[in-house]
């Protein structure tokens, strides 16, 4: 397949950037980020090289779960602007080559959504069957709650009828009953509405919870994956090249089912939670073994499907797929204080403070993310190395206002600090030390380096389209891998250890080829016997394009 044939599969080589409008830029000075502010910063994203903007929930909300408790699926939170403001952001982003996707949160509503306010009034009320109810007292379900520090059951009783409603998340977020055809129709209408306004797809929240059986076996959802296929078909009919990026935090053997198996007709993309957690274990150990094992265990997927790689997202940095001993290793290395941990399974920290601000290790990690096969996803602020604010509650520690300059509130807002959606980062990662304005003028900044990684990633279709293989070499701290596509190949080396080393490789099919560095000046040659030796600094990394004699590949 040639590059010219792949435009409809734009997600295969996209660069995704996630942000919360509320914390990105306040343009009217009321303390809350808004779409008008985001529109002013789309040039920052275009300059960074972003090709897909993922908007966290912007719908009306009661703010029980940072926007994920929605009161109206067909509107914009008035604090953020209007539907017209959103459309203007989409249009402006598209003009700069950036597609826009948004969170599709249809696992639950807010208790203040009109559907639930009606449903709770009587057992025969309108919209009653949009939710899941039980008349008898539920058993102990404390082991099933998503937020164990906030809830002790997945059932809550209403005074109006004396029955219990299901909620996997907060009790203020009653679960919708997807076994009800009317709910499924409503989900399609929600998707169609936002697609018509110009979205290029959705990040689908909590997919396994959304599709799970809600009632007894005699009232279960018809084959759940068939329903996911129907949503993909609906999306394709409406917009053609659109994406469903799914949040599916399951073991690989279960996760791969949500792609639709070999047909690839369900979710278009999925986050690689297993690989992400293995990466942190490898970083904690300064040993690439755990990450290597995870990458080699990644199931093969349909060529039209894609894994999404990430270092950090907007939730806790979950470590739930590690064993208890492995999780404690990561805690000891990167979150030794109890206040840095959350739910007993994750960290509420960003990468730079976890690595004590060491620029070598920080650059190593982002180089690793961009060089792994898949589509890289950045969380806002990662491009400048923002830190967390542990004085904020729970997961809000990593959802702090964006740091644009070193002025009051980091240039996010001119309002009084107590009117902001959360505290600005303090300490060594405060805007005084970490901000966009300073780094834009510094060719040696992290922002400049991330721009380079994005540019090289977009010039390297091998990373999005190619086949992947781990290359054998003797150093435990080193991950060496190669991605090959069409007649091109890229070799990447990452040293997770502090000691420099020389990495011997065997590349018999590349004998006589040059290996040209893409991130800095340098080159090597593959000998006639297929051998090569490549030097790596401590925490060093290299991307090397294989250039055979007569090749016209871009260096």
Active site residues: 205, 247
Residues whose CB is less than 8 angstroms from the CB of residue 181 and which lie 6 or more positions away in sequence, other chains included: none
Largest CA-CA distance found in the chain, in angstroms, rounded: 81
- Segment holding 165, helix H or strand E: strand 164-166
**CA neighbor of 411 nearest in space, from 403, 400, 420, 419:** 403
Torsion of CA 137, 143, 148, 151, to 10 degrees: 0
**In 3-state terms, what secondary structure has residue 119?**
helix
Query: How many Cα neighbours within 13 Å face the side chain of 77?
Result: 23
**How would you class 217 by CB atoms within 10 Å of its CB: exposed for 0-12, middle for 13-18, buried for 19 or more?**
exposed
What is the 3 state secondary structure string of 54-67?
Answer: EECCCCCECCCCCC
Query: How many Cα neighbours within 13 Å face the side chain of 203?
Result: 22
| Cα 107 versus chain centre, distance | 18
Specify the pairing of strand 16-19 against strand 375-379.
parallel
**The pair of three-digit structure tokens given for residue 449, joined into one six-digit string:** 């380096």
Cβ(105)–Cβ(68) below 8 Å:
yes
**In 3-state terms, what secondary structure has residue 303?**
coil
**In 3-state terms, what secondary structure has residue 158?**
coil
Nearest-angstrom CA–CA distance, 174 and 108:
5
Nearest-angstrom CA–CA distance, 406 and 214:
50
Residues whose CB is less than 8 angstroms from the CB of residue 195 and which lie 6 or more positions away in sequence, other chains included: 235, 238, 239, 242
Nearest-angstrom CA–CA distance, 29 and 27:
6
Residue 489, φ and ψ in degrees, nearest 5: -150, 145
Nearest-angstrom CA–CA distance, 194 and 250:
28
Question: Going edge to edge, which strands form the sheet with 155-157?
Answer: 133-134, 164-166, 155-157
- Segment holding 42, helix H or strand E: helix 42-48
Nearest-angstrom CA–CA distance, 406 and 429:
11
- Segment holding 103, helix H or strand E: strand 99-104
| Cα 254 versus chain centre, distance | 19
Nearest-angstrom CA–CA distance, 483 and 470:
9
**CA neighbor of 301 nearest in space, from 272, 267, 262, 268:** 262
Residues whose CB is less than 8 angstroms from the CB of residue 216 and which lie 6 or more positions away in sequence, other chains included: none
What size, in residues, is the chain?
555
């Amino acid at each position: 397949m040639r590059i010219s044939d792949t435009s409809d599969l734009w997600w295969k080589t996209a660069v995704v950037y996630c942000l919360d409008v509320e914390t990105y830029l306040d343009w009217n000075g009321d303390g809350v980020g808004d779409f008008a502010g985001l529109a002013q910063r789309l040039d920052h994203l275009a300059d960074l090289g972003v090709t897909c903007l993922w908007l966290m929930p912007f719908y009306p909300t009661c703010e029980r779960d940072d926007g994920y408790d929605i009161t109206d699926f067909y509107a914009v939170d008035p604090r953020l602007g209007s539907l017209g403001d959103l459309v203007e952001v989409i249009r402006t982003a598209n003009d700069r080559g950036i597609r826009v996707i948004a969170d599709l949160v249809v696992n639950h509503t807010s208790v203040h959504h009109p559907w639930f306010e009606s449903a709770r009034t009587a057992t025969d009320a309108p919209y009653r069957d949009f939710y899941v109810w039980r008349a008898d007292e539920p058993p102990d379900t404390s082991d099933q709650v998503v937020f164990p520090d906030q809830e002790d059951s997945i059932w809550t009783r209403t005074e109006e009828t004396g029955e219990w409603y299901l909620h996997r998340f907060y009790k203020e977020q009653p679960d919708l009953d997807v076994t009800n055809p009317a709910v499924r129709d409503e989900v399609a209408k929600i998707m169609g509405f936002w697609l018509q306004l110009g979205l290029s797809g959705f990040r689908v929240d909590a997919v396994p919870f959304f599709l799970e059986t809600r009632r007894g076996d005699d009232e279960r959802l018809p084959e759940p994956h068939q329903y996911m296929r129907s949503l993909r078909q609906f999306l394709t009919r409406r917009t053609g090249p659109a994406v469903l990026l799914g949040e599916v935090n399951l073991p690989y053997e279960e996760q791969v089912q949500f792609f639709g198996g070999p047909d690839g007709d369900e979710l278009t993309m999925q986050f690689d939670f297993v690989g992400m957690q293995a990466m942190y274990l490898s970083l904690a150990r300064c040993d690439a073994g755990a990450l290597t094992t995870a990458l080699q265990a990644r199931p093969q997927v349909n060529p039209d499907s894609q894994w999404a790689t990430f270092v950090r997202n907007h939730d806790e940095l979950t470590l739930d797929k590690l064993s208890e001993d492995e999780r404690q290793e990561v805690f000891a290395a990167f979150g030794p204080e109890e206040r840095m941990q959350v739910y007993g399974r994750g960290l509420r920290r960003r990468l730079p403070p976890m690595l004590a601000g060491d620029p070598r290790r920080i650059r190593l990690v982002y180089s690793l993310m961009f060089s792994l096969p898949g589509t890289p996803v950045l969380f806002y602020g990662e491009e400048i190395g923002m830190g967390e604010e542990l004085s904020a509650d729970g997961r809000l520690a990593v959802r702090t206002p964006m740091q644009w300059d070193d002025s009051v509130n980091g240039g996010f807002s001119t309002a009084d600090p107590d009117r902001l959606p959360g505290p600005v980062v303090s300490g060594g990662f405060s805007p005084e030390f970490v901000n966009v304005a300073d780094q834009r003028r510094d060719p040696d900044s992290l922002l400049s380096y991330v721009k380079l990684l994005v540019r090289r990633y977009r010039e390297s279709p091998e990373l999005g389209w190619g086949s992947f293989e781990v290359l054998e070499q003797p150093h435990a701290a080193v991950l060496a891998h190669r991605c090959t596509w069409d007649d091109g190949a890229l070799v990447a080396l990452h040293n997770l250890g502090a000691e420099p080393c020389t990495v011997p490789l065997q590349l018999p099919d590349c004998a006589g080829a040059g290996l040209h560095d893409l991130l800095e000046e340098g080159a090597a040659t593959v000998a006639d016997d297929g051998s090569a030796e490549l030097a790596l600094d401590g925490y060093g990394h290299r991307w090397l394009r294989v250039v055979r004699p007569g090749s016209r590949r871009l260096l």
